[in-house]
Structure 1
Amino acid sequence: MRLPLPQFDRSDRHPNHIAEVIATSTTEFLAQCLEPEDLSFPPMPPFGSWVSCADEESGNKVYGIVYYVTTMPIDSVHRPVALGLSLQDLREEQPQIFAMLKTEFRAAIVGFKPSLETVVKNDIVYQYLPPRPPQIHQAVYRCEPEDIIKFTEELDFLRTLLMVSGAPVDSLTAAAIREVYRLRKADRQWLVNAGRTLSVLLKDDYDRLRFILSQVHP
Structure 2
Amino acid sequence: MDTLNLFPLYLSFRVASTATLVGFLFGLPVAWFLSRGRGKAVDFLDTLTNLPVVLPPTVLGYYLLVLLGRQSPLGAFLEDTWGARIVFTPTGAIIASTVVSIPYLIKAAKTAFLEINEDYLNAARLLGRNEFNIFVTIVMPIAWRGIVAGTTMSFVRALGDFGTTLMVSGSIPDKTMTMPIAIYDALQAGDKAMANLLVLIMTGIAVTVLFTINLLERKMRKG
The structure in which a higher percent of residues are strand is 1
Higher RCO by CA contacts (8 Å cutoff, separation 6 or greater): 2
Which TM-score applies when normalising by structure 1? 0.26
Which TM-score applies when normalising by structure 2? 0.25
